[in-house]
Structure 1
């Protein structure tokens, strides 16, 4: 049996390693941290959650719920760790980041079929007949490895900007000005809500518009023919804000290309004064017990740890200078005297052009012994990255045994997500979260017969889980 070499200790890599190892394969898991870090990571831990601590909705018959249900039925090790380290988050699955990473690390270190190597990989041997490789190095893949991937694919990687939300010390929140509630009373009231009046919101928007932003450096730009990028990976480390991202260093640059699903708040505000009120500051369904009405706008805080000693500002990623963040975020009602344990950040992420490069079993079309998993493949989100790793680990296990893996069924959430990244329209390809838009729609006559959207989604979930169970049984993994 061939060995499996997995590169990357984020979310997809550990899940792939545990899947393949549990199926009897010998696995080498390489992670470059702490020998070399990135501008976004704060630790060298496996499965570090860089942005938020949420793995999205657990509401029955929602698309994120369906994806997780499929993963649970396939024995997802990271999802088990998430369930075991969950913190109150209404109808969402959120985790204590540190405990989650500790639990994943224990699973990896204790597994007899996994060898951990702390090393930076800069070369991929596509002709090694004894090894199946899974590249799960993430959106902050180091420059040498990204250049190596470009050598294999012959195409430029794309790029977008991803984000990190601020975290506040719970003890410094003025609880007299805020209230606990879940939107539309769905789930338990686990979110702290900071209500705005119209004058408070208008002042906040004005301050945001005038705030000084971090200027994106040349290493953060997307390559173009007019503006050469320089390799800064060997320069001394700078501050967290100014340290360069470890993306591919190719020829040139153009203005920032934001990922529309994770825009910084100042970019949202730039698109209209009320845009934030219909986005991350949406007050709908958040009745203030003091007034009996929805506030004009609202910022939600989500619990970070089991001790509830810190909260993150939901959807409040930004690229403001730290001093500006300290000033403007304290304009949020209840946070006037807040201590911020971490400020927001926006950083460059890279991903391959999956529609032209990947098969439905996540193999490079030109190098079938190399698989791509996680955000590098074009999926977006924690749960989606873990799901991608789960599939890659199972596919690699089949290849290691000399078998051709069978793709996850198109009817399923996992299959639909993979189908999107491998069949998307190539000109405007962007990473995707799991949504019902990606799933196979009901037949036209059934759609006409069933008008209720929730009932249609229930039927889609039911048939997806049936197809998933059949695939699990037939795949012999």
Structure 2
């Protein structure tokens, strides 16, 4: 009987399990929560989102849109769950995180080939059969040591941070307004506008606020794409105004003017009873967060359901150890997916889980997998994590920089960046369609 083991109940693990099961493979899915928790998770739910609730842009011909389109066309189980639990978020795909987890759990429970085990896995080896490690950035120390033993190299680690969440009815709606940047999509974001004086006072309070003390054994090495706001602020007084507090495209309909700076709040669930502060991950002490963040116009009386925090994210040096089919060179029966494999972001984690599930299922069925071509968004992501400079490897989101560039002649002919992106997306989707026709065995594929 064809059987594989999947470790991790976040995003990549359930995606891999569902993909493999729907191809006719028996799957043992392991999740250590609630037997053993992590510093960031609050529940034992499958697919719990510990940071933002956004799967990024749905704007046509953007790189995040392209990755989601490829996954949708492949029948990604978790993208279907995300679409079914979406909340208003302008031109982004954001989900009700509780409903999203419920949808994933129901999908797993409906699949008779998936067998869930609530226990910690601490051993990996050839004798354990085909295994997908999707244990996430908060992999337990015991499993981390086992992975380090197998890969023969130390893990790299960066520190990721979580944005605060406030109760909706504690927001002073007289001081804020609804709008989406450049009026894209619907006006689903609450915008907290600053005058220059308000911004200067907020900035001074932020850079002088007390942060959580670094422990002796820690070496804080933040992921550049997810810097705490206080770290960004220390790079210059206007850094936040060109980052998470940029006001461009957010004209205040009450005044007809663009504010000096803006903090955006995004809906957390379908009930719209809570909002997160977009891009406001931080490493401040809780008391300091309450003091400083209540200086944001409209949040003077904010009640915080969750403060920002920091946690350790672990990932392997994928360019050194992984093949393009996401399995270890030295131990080809062991696959990696999700953030531990070196991708960054929710959709990217789902994407790597999809591919790992596909490839591992083929191996279990005695078939040779067809690697996804680099010309696709899926392939570009895999190509990066398996071919980047191992000496300076950093996790990556999907961007146009990772996609196959247009030929120089065509780049000169197409001056408009949006049009160049449209052509890149068109080519990627065509390459995906051609690959997908041969990527699975029609006899067992049941998406």
TM-score by length of 1: 0.92
Does residue 439 of the first structure (1) align with residue 403 of the second (2)? yes
Q: Select 1:271's aligned residue among 230, 235, 240.
A: 235
2:27 maps to what in 1? 27
Matched position secondary structure for 1:70: helix
1:78 maps to what in 2? 78
Tell whether the 8 Å contact from 2:86 to 2:95 is kept in structure 1 after alignment. Answer: yes
Matched position secondary structure for 1:364: coil
Does residue 210 of the first structure (1) align with residue 174 of the second (2)? no
Deviation digits for residues 31-62 of structure 1 (CA, Å, limit 9, x no counterpart): 00000000000000000001000000000000
Distance in 1, matches of 2:403 and 2:111, equals 35
1:14 maps to what in 2? 14
Offset of residue 303 of structure 1: 0.3
Does residue 122 of the first structure (1) align with residue 122 of the second (2)? yes
Offset of residue 113 of structure 1: 0.4
Distance in 1, matches of 2:167 and 2:8, equals 31
For the aligned residues, what is the CA RMSD? Answer: 0.8
Q: Select 2:269's aligned residue among 305, 314, 323.
A: 305
2:48 maps to what in 1? 48
Distance in 2, matches of 1:154 and 1:44, equals 31
1:173 maps to what in 2? 171
Does residue 343 of the first structure (1) align with residue 290 of the second (2)? no
Offset of residue 259 of structure 1: 0.4
Distance in 1, matches of 2:109 and 2:274, equals 29
Offset of residue 426 of structure 1: 1.6
Offset of residue 210 of structure 1: 1.2
Tell whether the 8 Å contact from 2:370 to 2:438 is kept in structure 1 after alignment. Answer: no
1:227 maps to what in 2? none
Offset of residue 432 of structure 1: 0.2
Offset of residue 196 of structure 1: 0.4
Q: Select 1:463's aligned residue among 417, 422, 427.
A: 427
2:97 maps to what in 1? 97
Q: Select 2:375's aligned residue among 386, 408, 411.
A: 411
1:57 maps to what in 2? 57
1:229 maps to what in 2? none
Offset of residue 266 of structure 1: 0.3
Question: Counterparts of 1:112-151 in structure 2 under 5 Å?
Answer: 112-128=112-128, 131-151=129-149
Does residue 329 of the first structure (1) align with residue 293 of the second (2)? yes
Deviation digits for residues 231-259 of structure 1 (CA, Å, limit 9, x no counterpart): xxxxxxxxxxxxxxxxxxxxxxxx31110
Q: Select 1:377's aligned residue among 341, 358, 363.
A: 341
2:150 maps to what in 1? 152
Tell whether the 8 Å contact from 2:90 to 2:180 is kept in structure 1 after alignment. Answer: yes
Does residue 398 of the first structure (1) align with residue 396 of the second (2)? no
Consecutive unaligned residues in structure 2, runs of 5 or more: 442-447
Offset of residue 172 of structure 1: 0.5
Distance in 2, matches of 1:162 and 1:256, equals 10
Matched position secondary structure for 1:387: helix
Offset of residue 218 of structure 1: 3.8
Offset of residue 110 of structure 1: 1.8
Tell whether the 8 Å contact from 1:2 to 1:132 is kept in structure 2 after alignment. Answer: no
1:39 maps to what in 2? 39
Offset of residue 126 of structure 1: 2.2
1:234 maps to what in 2? none
Distance in 2, matches of 1:148 and 1:216, equals 26
Consecutive unaligned residues in structure 1, runs of 5 or more: 222-254
